[in-house]
Structures are given as C-alpha cells and as structure tokens.
Structure 1
Amino acid sequence: MTKKLILKKWIAQRVRHGKGLLPIAPEQNTIRVLMYHSIPATDDLQDAGQMTTPFELFKRQMAYLSEHRFNVISCRTMTDLLANKQPIPLRSVVITFDDGFRNNLSTLPVLEEYGFPAMFFLSTHALDGEADYLSWSEAERLAHSSRFSIGSHSVSHRNLKRLDEPDVRDEIFVSKQKLEERLQEPIEYFAIPFGSYGAFDGRTRRLLQSAGFVAAFSTIAGVNSHRSDLFALRRTRISWFDDMTTFPDQLSGYYDWYRWWQKMSKSL
C-alpha cells in the first residue's frame, strides 16, 4: 500500500472515531456515486493502482450494498431527482465504470443478480480497437440492455482544461456523435477525463451543455444533493484499497474529506 493510501486510511479512521474536524455529509437527501475502473479476475495486487478492483472484491461490495438495503439507482433517476428537487430515498447510490475495460463485462451477471443498474463511460478512441478495452459490438450489447447505460468519456481521454477550445469541442461533440451513431442510443451523460479540479472549468461546462449533455461526472470526492452542480457531480473512487472494512467507511462518507486535498493540490 502506498504512503498516500496509508495516510488516507489514517485520516479516515480519525474522522470515523470523532477525532477529525471535517464534517461528514448526511445520508439523507444525498446520492453517492461509486466510480470503478478495471475489474480484473486476479487478486494479485502487486501492481494494482487506484484504478483496479479485483472481481471477487467487487462481488463482496455488491453483496454488501444488497444486504444493507442500499437504494441503487440509475444516472437518469439520479439527475431527475436532483433537477426536480424531489425527495431522495435514504442510502441512494449510483454505480459507474470509467474507461471501458473489457473485464467490466464480468460484472454484468453480478449486477443482474442484484438488479443494480450501472453506467459505463467510454472513450471512443479505445473502442476503435485498443487492447483490453471493449469493442463496439460489446458496447452495443451494453447500450441495448434495459439495465445498463453508456456515457461519453471523450474521444481520447485528454485533460480538457489543458486543450485549446477547438480540441475540447472535438473531444466532447465528436465522442457524443460517434457513440450515438454507432449505438443508436442517446448519449446524455459525460465523465470528465481525470475529473478533479485541475481537469475542467467553465468552458468545459459550457461546451457540454451546448452539446446536449444532461450532466457530467467529476472525480471529486463526496456526495450529491439538490444543491449540486449537474455538470460537476461528485463521485467516490473505489479500488482494491476498499476492502470490506474500508468500503463501508467510503459509503458513510469518512473519506469525503479528500476533496479538500484535491482542491488544494489540484490533484488529478
């Protein structure tokens, strides 16, 4: 485990036991969005980073959500609740996957078993034939499912804030257009590449709105409420680090303090 992850766990434990000074977001009227990346079959964590959650651990995490009666909802339900200021059911959670790793397909039977919807954010460049990523035919399978949805993760997964406006426009507009043409489904949700404070700005929001997106998801830690910006929705990064002692703490908000570190450091 890296020093950074050890420090995160130590701070979370202090917060959990009431020794921290940072407030914990209440469960009521909030929605937590879980952010997954690669879901490999192996439990070998020697080279694992924050983008990896072993399949067996993922299964245990989904079982936990079911056993503890979390209300797992779709992105559509989430944005409808937020935009219309409707009451949010207790323990509401959204499940998302970034980057479109092919091993994400292994999660489908698990999600189906529990009746959980999920959103898969895909970069179109990876769909064009990159190894270890979903193919177009596999993306079509997801898009045409009643339980799963596809969102855009740009064309080539570059930091949008660092690009000239014409390039940002292409990353946003071209990805949406290509996904809609190939999948024959509306693409209304966007996951901002890298997604922290140093990865998007007002220009990004303006272009996303102009392209017709309903909402955009960041990687900034925390929960979402009726006061949230629909084009900077917060998410909770889940990885191999989140074993069955840490995962409940993530769901309870004991790691939400991390967004302050993200803001100070402009961490990606």
Structure 2
Amino acid sequence: MDVVELAHKAISPILYSLGFYQRSWSRKAKTQGIVAVPYYHRIVDSHEVNSGLLADELGVPADIFEAQMRFMLKHFTPIRPSQVNEALKKPGLYFTVTFDDGFEDNYTVAAPILKKLGISGAFYVVSDYVGTDKLFWWEQLAYLLKNTQKKQIDISQVYPLWLEQEKLPKIILLDSAVHVQEAQKKLAAAFRHTKPCDIPQTILKLAKELAVAAVQIGRDHPLMNWEQLHDLQNQGFEIGGHTASHINLGKAETNDYAHEINQSTQDLSSKLKSPVETFAYPYGTFSHYTHAASKEVANNGYTCAFTTNNGVITQSSDKYEYPRFTLNKSWPFACAFNVASAFRSGS
C-alpha cells in the first residue's frame, strides 16, 4: 500500500461519514450499471475456530461476514451472479457475493446468513472434490508445517527453481510461530505459480525435507456434498464451476486446462441436473489463467466468469474476466474503503 493509499485509509472514517464514497459511487452509476462482487472462501461460526490455523486455512467469522453483507445491502441492490450481464445495462449500483472451493461452512454458516438477509450468491465448487475427504495442496502444506519438528527448510532440496523464479531464500526458518506463518505465505505463493504437474512431487519432497509423512486425505474442514449443493439450489443459490481439481489454468497445458473446464462443467450439470451458468478461476489473478482458458470457459456455455483481480464490474469489463474484491473488516468505513479501492482499480 503506497503513501497515498495509506493516507486515504486513515481518513476513510471521515469520508464515509460525510457521504463522500456514496456520492462518488452513485455518480459513476448514473449512466450504467456497476456490479460489486466480494468473494470469500471459508465462513466460520466464531473467531475461536481460527485458533492455530495458518493463513490459507482461516475463515471469516460469521459476525464479521454478516456485518459486511449488511453494509453491501445498505449501498447496493442484490442480484444473482447469473444476472450480472443484464444488470450492467441498467443504471444503478448492484452487488452479488461469491464463495470459492466449496467448504461445508458455506452451507452451514454463510448460506443461513444470506437467506436471512435476502441475498443470493454463487458457490464455486471443485467437482472432483465434492463430498470427498481429499486435501487441496495448500491444506497438505499446512499439515506439514504444523507437524514438523524441523526448524528450517532448505528450498534447494524441495524445488530449486523457486530460488530464481520466486526469489525465495535458500533457507526458510520455522523456529517460531511467526516464522511458520511467514513460511506458509511464501511457500503457498510459490506453489500457486508452479506447474500443476509439478505440485504433487514437490509436496512429497517438502514432506521428506520436513521429516513428516505426506497426507492426501483427512479433512479438518469438510467440503460440501452433492446433497447440500442441491439444497442450496433449492434455496435459490447458484452453483458454479471452479475446474475439476483446482488447477492453475495459467500454467496448465492446453489439453489439461480444457479437460479441467470441460469435466467440471459436465460433472456439475449432470449431478445438479441443471445448466451451470457462471465460473470462477482458481486463484484467479492474471497469472493464473490465460485468454485461451477464458475462451474455453465461454465455449462451455458459461455466461460469465470471475477472477480475483481487484475491481468492480462495468460495461467495459470482459464478461469472461470479471473482477472481484475482498472485504477485510466489519466496520462500515472499512468496507467503504475496500469498495472504493475496487472502484479505483476497475472502473
């Protein structure tokens, strides 16, 4: 965050209380629809659930999530994700909410809050993982880091290319809780830019370096099953594609990413007995998908697709590369600051 952004953040309570943000958003929406799309992964029922977890395992506590949704309702009109394209044709401020990866707490914690507030949304699920006990690679990484007795990692013994490609230091320390958290963030970032075919073997090498047996099943945080996804549909929510195995579409070979998108689409349509209308790219930034991949998404009949590039959706947005953003606090002025940042990035 640069100096200007820090200064803006410091005065955000004043800007919000004076209505500066609200007037700015309304002016931009006088001649076109603008859609804001916050995205989430896990929503947990209490702050205590996050105790002892590493960065990628954390969830947004229910009270914070509800406060954020109430903020969005106050300033934006709720729509379904599949309605974004049409909403852009009508002047106004709209929003929808999305969830990636398909964690069960989306069903048990998030959905009841949304239902209570009259908000729809979409849950983007990894089709090969629905109802299974399989672990995503970042969960395998967290397990290794939390269970090792080693005090450091020698990256040259794990994935030497990271030293140059990701600028990782040769030695990453694990000698304190703070260093373990930092290690998780550095390693997760490196894994996200690694070819999908290299990830399983790299996890095994990391397990050997840390002297911990690698695990591929045994979830602490369950995923939704097909019955729960059907129930969400019946409640008025949408289920969307998120590939078959959460692959990095930007690093995958053409045949691999085509299979991941096609297989996911077929599985979801077959299991849910209805067309799947929208898609979200795993990881979601520009380095995690290609324009060729977005064309494959279009060819599978999706009406639009969401990235995690920061921004709001306008008429000039590519409908297969729609931006989203995160809300990181519960205070209204903090939510306004996040939304304003998205407006500056994507409008």
Q: Indicate the TM-score class for this superposition, using the shorter chain for normalisation.
A: 0.7 to 0.9
Give, as a single letter, the amino acid of the residue that structure 2 aligns with 1:144: N
Distance 1:185 1:144, change over 3 A: farther
Cross-structure match for 2:276: 187
More helix, by proportion: 2
Partner of 1:246: 334
1:99 to 101, 105, 117: 101
Secondary structure of residue in 2 paired with 1:243 = coil
Please give the TM-score of this superposition, normalised by the length of structure 1.
0.81
- Does structure 2 conserve the Cα–Cα contact (< 8 Å) formed by 1:8 and 1:255? no
Match of 1:199 among 279, 288, 292: 288
SS at match of 2:132: coil
Q: Which amino acid aligns with 2:287?
A: G
State the partner residue of 2:168.
none
SS at 1:179 equivalent: helix
- 1:7-61 alpha-carbon deviations (Å, 9 max, x no partner): 997365168589xxxxx87651311111011001121455463762111111222
Say yes or no: does 1:88 pair with 2:94.
Answer: no
User: What whole-Å deviation, never above 9, does each CA across 1:85-139 have from its counterpart, x for those lacking one?
Assistant: x2232x3111111111100111222211221111111111220413311011111
Q: Residue 49 of structure 1 corresponds to which residue in structure 2?
A: 55
Letter in 2 for 1:30: I
- In structure 2, relative to structure 1, the CA distance for the partners of 1:100 and 1:167 (3 Å cut) is same
Specify which of 19, 32, 38 is matched with residue 36 of structure 2.
32
1:10 aligns with 2:6: yes
Tell me the distance in 2 between the aligned counterparts of 1:36 and 1:8: 27
Question: Which residue of structure 2 aligns with residue 133 of structure 1?
Answer: 223
Q: Percent identity?
A: 22
Aligned residue type for 1:228: S
The match for 2:71 is: 64
d(CA) in 2 for partners of 1:258 and 1:226?
Answer: 15
Q: For 1:57, what is the secondary structure of its paired residue?
A: helix
Which position in structure 2 is the counterpart of 1:21? none
**In the TM superposition, what is the alpha-carbon distance from 1:80 to its structure 2 partner?**
1.9
Tell me which amino acid in the other structure corresponds to 1:138. Q
Asked if the contact 1:31–1:88 (Cα under 8 Å) also holds between the matched residues in 2, the reply is no
- Structure 2 distance, partners of 1:140, 1:200, is 29
Question: Are 2:249 and 2:289, in contact at CA under 8 Å, matched by a contact in 1?
Answer: yes
| Local SS of the residue matching 1:186 | coil
Q: 2:319: which partner in 1? A: 230
1:177 aligns with 2:242: no
Instruction: Sort the Cα spacing of 1:48 and 1:95 in 2 relative to 1 into closer, same or farther, 3 A.
Output: farther
Instruction: Return the alpha-carbon distance in structure 2 between the equivalents of residues 171 and 12 of structure 1.
Output: 42
SS in 2 for 1:61: helix
Post-superposition offset of 1:161: 1.1
Structure 2 CA distance for aligned equivalents of residues 58 and 170 of structure 1: 35
Partner of 1:75: 81
C-alpha RMSD of the superposition:
2.7
Give the conservation status (yes or no) of the 8 Å contact 1:180–1:186: yes
- For 1:74 and 1:232, the matched residues in 2 are separated by 17
Q: Which runs of 5+ in 1 are unaligned?
A: 19-23, 260-268
- DSSP 3-state at the match of 1:97: strand
Q: Which has the larger radius of gyration?
A: 2
Q: Which runs of 5+ in 2 are unaligned?
A: 16-23, 134-218
CA distance in 2, matches of 1:221, 1:98: 16
Q: CA deviation at 1:77?
A: 1.8
Deviation (angstroms), 1:158: 1.3
**Structure 2 CA distance, aligned partners of 1:156 and 1:7?**
40
In the alignment, the residues of structure 1 paired with residue 4 and residue 325 of structure 2 have an alpha-carbon distance, to the nearest angstrom, of 13
Aligned pair count reads: 241
Runs of 4+ in 1 over 6 A off after TM superposition: 6-9
